[in-house]
Structures are given as C-alpha cells and as structure tokens.
C-alpha cells in the first residue's frame, strides 16, 4: 500500500466511522467506473430495468469522485481486500478544474446494471412500439437529462469509509449471506492487520451489522471448504452451516460432517429444526450417552444411516408429488369456477413446467431406468415428450 494510502487510512482511524456528506449530481453511464464490491450475485436485472423505465430511479446510486491521490488509496485498499490488481491508469476519468476526476460506483450496482441494460437493449414498451433501436435511444427517452443518471456524489471519501458504506448500503435486495460473510471476514482481517485494537463491535457498527452477525461470518469462513461450497451451491442454508460449525468445534470429522449435510438435505430441515437436532446430539455427547469417536465407526451403522436417508427421500418425493398434483387440481377448479383469470405472467408457471419436464426427461428418467420395468419407462418417456411438445407449441403461439 502506498504511503499516501496509509496516511489517508490513518486519518480515517483518527476520525472514526463518521458519516460522509453527499451532493446531488448527474453523470453519464460511461464515466462511472465499476470495481469489485461485497455483492457478487445480481438477480432480476431485467425486471428492475423495466421498473426503472416506468417509474424512474427512485434511489440514486452512490458514486465517489476521487482525485488521483484518493483514487490510488482506494484502489490500493480494494486490491488488498479482494486480491485484485487495479491501477489508476486503467480507469475512465474526466478533467475538472485542471485535475483529473475519477468516478467510482460505491453502492447501487444492481440499479446501475439495470440502467446499462436499458441503454443497450431498451425497455419492452419501446421495443413493442418502435422495434429495435440504436443503443441509448430508449434510455435517453426515459432519462431526459442528456441521457445522464442522477447520483449521490461523495467527494474524496476515505477508502475505508467508502468500503464501509458499500457494506452497509445493501438494503434494497440483501446480499446472499455467504457472500456477505466472506466479504466481512476479508475486510475485518484487513483492518485488524492495520489496527490490532479495532474491535469486532466497532467493526460491526461501521458496517451497519450486529456483532453476532460478524461473529457468525467469521465462524462460517472458518468452516471446512466442502461445507462452504455446499452453501454456495444452494445445497444447504447458511444457517445450517452455522449449526455445523458447532459440530466442528466439538471435533466431529469431515466424513461425519458430510453425513450431517446429507441428513439436513434429505430431511429438508429448517434452521430451527436442525438446531434442535444438533442440540440433542451434543447433549448426548455431553452426558456420555454418545461417543463422538465411535458413533459412526461400524459398517452396519453407516448402512443404517444411509438406509434412513433413502427412506426419508422416498417419503419426501412422494409427498411433494402429491402436493403438486393437489395444487394444480385446485387451480383448475378455480379456473373452471371463474374465480381466477389467467395465471400466466412474467414469471409464468409455464416456464417452470418446461424446466420441470426437462429435468424429468434428462436427469431423472435415466436414473429410473435401473429400477422400473421397460414398459413403465416407455410410458413415462412418451408422456414427457408429449408434455414438451405442448409446452413448446404454447411458447411459439405466444
């Protein structure tokens, strides 16, 4: 980190986590630099773009206006934080009063990406009326201030203050818990490397979180890689992983932790229910009714727990299939009675049906071939092909 960067950070620690002042401004999209932030997942960009086109941007994005000195300090800090290597000469800048100004997005990347989509593609209404247009035509129609967007500008905000702002500004759509945990852990380690006296409580206040949230983030990041990856893939909930950390702390090994993951998935436990299961297990260990060293040693025990999981999955599949069938029967009955109109929308069930049919045909049917008679497989295959044909015909007609 440069000497200037260290001096700016030192001044920040002297002042503490103070609020930075904003000023209203208008900027073209192509002058705003977008660099890594805590959020890595960006959902519903198209839906948000259409909402912005119809209603305008109700909450302006937050942008830093850096001098070269402050921009270098900010880049040096995020390079340490995200293990990146950005240089100031890579960024877009503009000249103001003889000095180069670097505009960097601090908060509102979902909104910014939605505006970029509007600029490149246009909104559905304009596409329907005017057909495809040159990039920017639809955008300037909705953003009439020379095609610029309104921003809240922070002039020469200290790098750590900018990063704290990024962490505390994710209020419109929360960052996935595992992404936020990783970002909190990396930032906390960076700050502790600069100032060992910086407490967890003070850090939590600066990023707008409860101390327990930060403690849980550190616990999550200390878990074995395979548990963290299971959360990232959506196989288990973040809260389930935190419960598993209690088992890690009691010395449960990797193989047995994998069984606990399998159990949580097969039983489809809520975090609260899984908390109770882990509590019961740890209480048994504490009372010496269960030994954590020999609980799963025998082959018979391994086969028993796998059989339990298979039985649970079988029951769960049958229960879900009956639930889906019952739901569709209710929908059809309401349609026949005239109590509801068409149920298809931007998030149409037709799309979900296509996905479900594709999954059954390409993934589940090949698996069933090892268990079901050939006549049953042919019957299921024919039904799925007919379902796909009907759904594809519906897509063409619409």
State residue 352 phi and psi, 5-degree precision. -65, -35
How many domains would you assign to the chain?
A: 4
Tokens of 331: 């929908």
User: In this structure, are 336 and 364 located in the same domain?
Assistant: no
Neighbour-count burial for 256-266, b at 16+ CB within 10 Å, e otherwise: ebebbbbbbbb
pLDDT (average), residues 119-143: 89
- Give the pLDDT mean for 223-229: 97
Lowest mean pLDDT among 178-182, 242-246, 321-325: 321-325
Q: What is the mean pLDDT of residues 363-373?
A: 76
pLDDT for the residue 334 = 73
What is the reported pLDDT for 359? 80
- Does residue 284 sit within a domain? yes
Task: Answer with the one of 267, 297, 327 that is the final residue of a domain.
Answer: 297
pLDDT category of residue 68 using cuts at 50, 70 and 90:
very high
Specify the pLDDT at position 112.
Answer: 94
In terms of pLDDT, which residue wins out, 374 or 8? Answer: 374
Lowest mean per-residue pLDDT among 30-34, 110-114, 151-155, 293-297? 293-297
Query: Does residue 151 fall inside a structural domain?
Result: yes
Does residue 182 lie within any of the structural domains? Answer: no
Share of the chain above pLDDT 90, in %: 33
pLDDT at 294 > cutoff 50 = no
Give domain status of residue 192, yes or no.
Answer: no
309 vs 44: CA distance, rounded Å: 35
In this predicted structure, the answer to whether residue 369 has a pLDDT above a threshold of 60 is yes
**Residue 362 shares a structural domain with residue 237:** no
Residue 143 shares a structural domain with residue 48:
yes
Given a cut of 90, whether residue 392 has pLDDT beyond it is: no
| Same domain as 166, residue 24 | yes
Tell me what pLDDT residue 355 has.
79
- Lowest pLDDT segment from 189-198, 276-285, 310-319, 387-396: 310-319
Tell me, yes or no, whether 217 lies in a domain: no
Comparing 276 with 7, the larger pLDDT belongs to 276
Its domain, for residue 7, covers 3-173
Query: What average pLDDT does the segment 310-320 reach?
Result: 64
Place 345 in a pLDDT band, splitting at 50, 70 and 90. Answer: very low
The residues pairing with 102 across neighbouring beta strands, listed in sequence order, are 66
Q: Say whether pLDDT at 186 is over 70.
A: yes
Q: Does one domain contain both 20 and 82?
A: yes
**Of 372 and 305, which is predicted with more confidence?**
372
User: 264 and 309 share a domain?
Assistant: no
Q: What is the C-alpha to C-alpha distance for residues 308 and 314, in angstroms, rounded to an integer?
A: 10
Give me the pLDDT at residue 17, please.
55
pLDDT in tens, 21-57: 889 999 999 999 999 887 777 888 888 888 888 888 8
**199 falls within a domain:** no
Q: DSSP for 106-126, please give it.
A: EE-HHHHHHHHHHHHH--HHH
Q: Is residue 209 part of a domain?
A: no
Flag the least confident range among 21-30, 58-67, 249-258, 319-328: 319-328
* Torsion angle of the four alpha carbons 297, 298, 301, 305, in this order, in degrees rounded to the nearest 10: 50
Q: How far apart are CA 92 and CA 104, in angstroms?
A: 9
Asked if the structure places residue 39 within a domain, the reply is yes
Query: Residue 343 above 70 pLDDT?
Result: no
Share of the chain above pLDDT 70, in %: 80
């Amino acid at each position: 980190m440069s000497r200037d960067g260290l001096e700016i950070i030192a001044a920040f620690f002297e002042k503490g986590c103070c609020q930075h002042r904003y000023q209203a401004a208008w900027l073209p999209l192509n002058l705003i630099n977008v660099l890594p932030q805590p959020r890595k997942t960006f959902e519903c960009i198209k839906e948000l773009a259409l909402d912005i086109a119809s209603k305008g941007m109700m909450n302006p994005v937050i942008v830093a206006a850096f001098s070269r000195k402050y921009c270098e300090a900010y880049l040096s800090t995020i390079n340490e934080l995200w293990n990146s290597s950005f240089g100031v000469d890579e960024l877009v800048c503009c000249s103001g009063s003889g000095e180069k100004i670097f505009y960097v997005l601090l908060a509102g990347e979902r909104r910014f990406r939605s505006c970029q989509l509007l600029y490149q593609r246009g909104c559905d209404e304009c596409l329907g009326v005017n057909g495809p247009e040159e990039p920017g035509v639809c955008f300037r129609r909705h953003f009439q201030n020379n095609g610029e967007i309104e921003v809240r500008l922070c002039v020469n905000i200290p790098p750590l203050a900018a990063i704290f702002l990024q962490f505390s500004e994710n209020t419109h759509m929360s960052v996935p818990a595992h992404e936020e945990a990783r970002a909190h852990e990396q930032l906390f380690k960076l700050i502790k490397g600069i100032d060992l006296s910086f407490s967890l409580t003070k850090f939590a206040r600066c990023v707008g979180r409860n101390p327990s949230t930060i403690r849980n983030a550190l616990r999550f990041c200390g878990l074995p890689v395979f548990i963290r990856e299971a959360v990232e893939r959506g196989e288990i909930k973040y809260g389930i992983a935190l419960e598993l950390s209690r088992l890690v702390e009691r010395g449960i090994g990797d193989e047995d932790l994998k069984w606990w993951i399998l159990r949580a998935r097969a039983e489809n436990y809520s975090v609260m229910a899984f908390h109770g299961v882990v509590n019961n297990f740890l209480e048994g260990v504490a009372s010496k009714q269960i030994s954590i060293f020999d609980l799963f040693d025998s082959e018979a025990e391994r086969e028993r727990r796998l059989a339990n999981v298979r039985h649970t999955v079988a029951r769960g599949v049958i229960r879900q299939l009956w639930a889906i069938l019952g739901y569709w029967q209710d929908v059809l009955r309401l349609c026949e009675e005239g109590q509801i109109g068409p149920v298809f929308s931007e998030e149409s069930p037709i799309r979900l049906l296509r996905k479900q049919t594709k999954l059954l045909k390409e993934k589940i049917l090949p698996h069933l071939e090892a268990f079901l008679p050939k006549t049953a497989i042919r019957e299921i295959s024919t039904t799925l092909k007919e379902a796909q044909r009907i759904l594809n015909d519906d897509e063409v007609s619409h």
